[in-house]
Amino acid sequence: MEEGSAAPLEIAPSLPLVPSDVHGAPSDFLASASTSLGANARQLFLNREASQLEFHRRVLAQAENHDIPLLERLRFLCIFSSNLDEFFEIRVAGLKEKIKLQAPATTGPDGLDVRQIYALVSARTHKLVAEQYRLFNEVLVPDLDREGIRFLRRPHWTQEQGEWIRSYFFRELMPVLTPIGLDPAHPFPRVLNKSLNFAVELEGKDAFGREANAAIVQAPRALPRVILLPKEISGCEHGFVFLSSILHAHVCELFPGMRVRGCYQFRVTRNSELFVDEEEIKNLRDALQGELPQRHFGDAVRLEVADNCSEEMTRFLQDQFGLEDAEVFSVNGPVNLVRLLPVPDSVDRDDLKYPPCRPGLPKALQDQPDMFRAIRDGDILLHHPYQSFSPVVDFIRQAAEDPEVMAIKQTVYRAGNDSALLEALIGAARRGKEVSVVVELLARFDEQANINWAAQLEEAGAHVVYGVVGYKAHAKMAMVVRREGKKLRRYAHIGTGNYHSQTARSFTDFGLFTCKEAIVDDVANVFSQLTGLGHPGTLAHFWQSPFTMHTALLEAIRREGKHAKAGRKGLIIAKMNALLEPKLIQALYQASCDGARIELIVRGACALRPGIPGLSENIRVRSVLGQFLEHARIFYFYNDKAEDVRLSSADWMDRDFFRRIEVCFPVLDKTLKDRVIEEGLKVYLKDNRDTWEMDAEGNYRRKRGRKPVSAQDILREKLA
């Protein structure tokens, strides 16, 4: 693989892009397929899993890109591991479950049935993992070594290093290890999802005279997987030793009097999707609390073993977890590269990292600490992470402390375990204010944190609801009701990202403060839906899932096509994380056929095929991967010079339109609208350093320019 590029994915099945038996223009074909996805229409869509893996490939390619600082390349390698873990826990697990239940051989928009998709995914993930370890061993490790950052391997330990490591083993490691011998009295242990384990082959008899030939040692999750040695011991600026190396070197201490024939790392990945029967539950929180502990012990979907593991032991482990040969990954190195994430932060080398981003403040807040006065003076737009998240926290904190504030309402999807914002809500409730919080308990992998916050909020006297059964509450909104003279005024914050101070430092998102009546009316109506009962009211400006957003987007796309067909300018620019919903894709194809220009910035999975002559030749798809995770969803429609601009937390996916509660809100202030167009869209269309361009087969190539232009660097310089 060349530096900075990724080898193309072969998209299966190999079908013509536009069916050969279709007579007439592609637009005629689309018109006939607009109401149902028949066999012909399926050939217009890329497979979701294949497209998602292509995104993971782009992340992995960052690890080999020498334009990126070295320690950040290591970080990208770890991020790839984390992404792939989740892909197996959710997507692959879902495919396996369908096969297990012998689901009918139905196909999706891409034309593949579940078994075909599973075979495709298996082949590609094996190739990706092999490439990952090649990059680690042959590229990153030598590059790090040249910079005095070394992973010290057992065969090369000096006597002094060996003594220090031996002392560490007896002092820190051995007291917390529990070796489990395998015999009739000690069955194979329940192995936690993604935990580091060691399979040990033994010979001899133990103290009770029992013959033993195998044992399992589980590494406690609390222990670091890489240990930094003192500089005077390591012989370099930063010398690390793997926990697995330490245990391998001293595993015999755990089995005195017996011979250790082999010791092998392994890790199992399990199905982590939670099942809650929403028709049967009486209390969602109680149901989740009962279900969460089982996440660690779901059905196995992948087994990773060290490549030196004996065939006999590999087969034994495979049988224990009920896995097929294709579900076993033999790796040349640590079985969990995610756990190398602390290394970049442990190394004090600014020259090998991205320059720090020190968030700025918009002018409206630089000399005005009173959030309510500043918002009354005009709408305020925040662009994270270039601009600080602290005004969002200040907004809630000031509301909590202000005696004139009567009520606070907020949605919580992901907030993390440590949240100053939620602490402020708890404080507001304790002061007797009306605090209502919509906590989404089914926010994947954040369920426990959200359950904990919900309990604390309730104890403080807040009203806590869990949204609507069957729909995830994903909208990002906060509203404050304040008495000002003889009337009540409402203030709102709505955004594209979570109320999470940590991700706000690394995810690009927009947030809008306003007290415009038309907008806060819509915010209040959505909160009423979430906390009460009744039919949805008419919203003045918001498009809302699951009611109006999908239809409104279809209408906006078709309108641009009609303008173009009539000889006027038709232009759509949309930025999102994923584009998968078939009817929207068909509408984009039709708008392209009608002559509209469509620029799509899709970070992750994209099922649309761009650049097909006569069908999607007016559509371009690009993906931007840089220092920050592109997370904002921005939808621009030229609309005959009106330039409609909307922000949302929703991607163009089935779930976001039909199984989530989302809002898509307009930016009405002309100055702020121009900012969103420039900062959120135009600068990305000029990017030629962090951008990957997609072709009709789902392959991506890094865009290159003679003079590198980075949207993220431009925004950092302008705003931070």
- Look at 323-332, 370-379, 410-419 and tell me which has the smallest mean pLDDT: 410-419
Find, among 673, 678, 680, 591, the residue nearest to 632 by Cα.
Answer: 680
**pLDDT value of residue 32:** 47
Catalytic annotation, pick one of 56, 238, 248, 474: 474
Angle between helix axes 93-100 and 114-134 (nearest 10 degrees) is 150
Q: Which of 364-378, 433-447, 568-582 has the lowest mean pLDDT?
A: 433-447
Active site residue 474: yes
631 assigned ligand-binding residue:
yes
How confident is the model at residue 447, as a pLDDT? 84
Query: Does the structure show a pLDDT above 90 at 522?
Result: yes
The predicted structure's pLDDT at residue 20: 35
Q: Is 248 annotated as a binding residue?
A: no
Position 42 scores a pLDDT of: 63
β-strands 476-484, 691-694: how paired? unpaired
Our measurement of the distance from residue 464's CA atom to the centroid of its chain's CA atoms, rounded to an integer in Å, reads 26
Query: What residues have CB less than 8 Å from 160, skipping those under 6 apart?
Result: 233
* Per-chain mean pLDDT for the chain: 90
Q: Distance between alpha carbon 326 and the CA centroid of its chain, in Å? A: 26
Q: Any residues with CB less than 8 A from the CB of 413 and at least 6 apart, and which?
A: 440, 443, 446, 472, 473, 474, 476, 498, 499
What is the arithmetic mean of pLDDT over 118-125? Answer: 97
Cis peptide leading into residue 16 (ω within 30°): no
Q: What is the pLDDT of residues 273-289, one digit of tens each?
A: 866 555 544 466 565 55
Q: For the residues 50-66, what does the mean pLDDT come to?
A: 97
Strands (E), 311-433: 328-331, 380-384, 405-412
Token match 């292509």: residue?
54
- At 471-489, the pLDDT tens digits run 999 999 999 999 999 999 9
Residue 184: the pLDDT is 63
Give the tens place of pLDDT for each residue, 69-109. Answer: 999 999 999 999 999 999 999 999 999 999 988 767 667 88
Q: What is the pLDDT of residue 658?
A: 97
Instruction: Mark out the alpha helices in 87-136 (DSSP H runs).
Output: 93-100, 114-134
Short-list 534, 535, 471, 449, CA closest to 663: 471
User: What architecture (CATH level 2) is domain 544-719?
Assistant: 2-Layer Sandwich (3.30)
Average pLDDT (600-622) is 97
Which conformational region is residue 235 in: left (phi greater than 0), alpha (psi within -120 to 50 degrees), or beta?
A: left
pLDDT at 116: 93
* Biggest CA-to-CA distance, the chain: 90
Of 671, 682, 687, 679, nearest in space to 719 by CA = 679
Phi then psi for residue 273, to 5 deg, are: -75, 135
Dihedral sign, CA of 114, 116, 121, 123? positive
Q: Does 414 appear as a known binding residue?
A: yes
Say whether 444 counts as a known binding-site residue.
Answer: yes
Q: Which amino acid is at 669?
A: D
Measured distance CA(421)–CA(613) in Å, rounded: 51
- Residues 397, 140: Cα–Cα separation, whole Å: 45
State what percent of residues in the chain have pLDDT above 70: 90
The three-point CA angle 674-677-678 to 5° equals 85
DSSP single-letter state for residue 317: H
- The domain locations on the chain are 26-133, 152-352, 363-541, 544-719
Residue 18: pLDDT over 70: no
Closest listed residue to residue 606, CA positions, set 624, 592, 628: 624
- Band of the pLDDT at 219, cuts 50, 70, 90? very high
pLDDT-derived band of residue 364, with 50, 70 and 90 as boundaries?
very high
Q: What is residue 467's predicted lDDT score, i.e. its pLDDT?
A: 76
Domains 152-352 and 544-719 share a fold: no
User: Which H helix or E strand runs over 507?
Assistant: strand 507-514
- For 363-541, CATH gives 3.30.870.10
Which amino acid belongs to residue 321? Answer: F
Quick one: 152-352 is in which CATH superfamily? Answer: Polyphosphate kinase middle domain (3.30.1840.10)
The listed CATH number (2.130.10.30, 1.20.58.310, 3.40.50.970, 3.40.30.160) that belongs to domain 26-133: 1.20.58.310
Higher pLDDT, 34 or 497: 497
Compute how many other C-beta atoms are within 10 angstroms of the C-beta atom of residue 445: 13
pLDDT of residue 204: 86
pLDDT (average), residues 691-699: 96
Q: What is the pLDDT of residues 149-177, one digit of tens each?
A: 999 999 999 999 999 999 999 999 999 99
pLDDT in tens, 172-202: 999 999 999 887 667 899 899 999 999 999 9
Does position 19 have pLDDT exceeding 50, yes or no?
A: no
pTM, 2 dp: 0.91
Q: Is 83 annotated as a binding residue?
A: yes
The answer for residues whose C-beta is within 8 angstroms of residue 268's C-beta and 6 or more apart is 191, 193, 194, 195, 197, 300, 302, 303, 304, 321
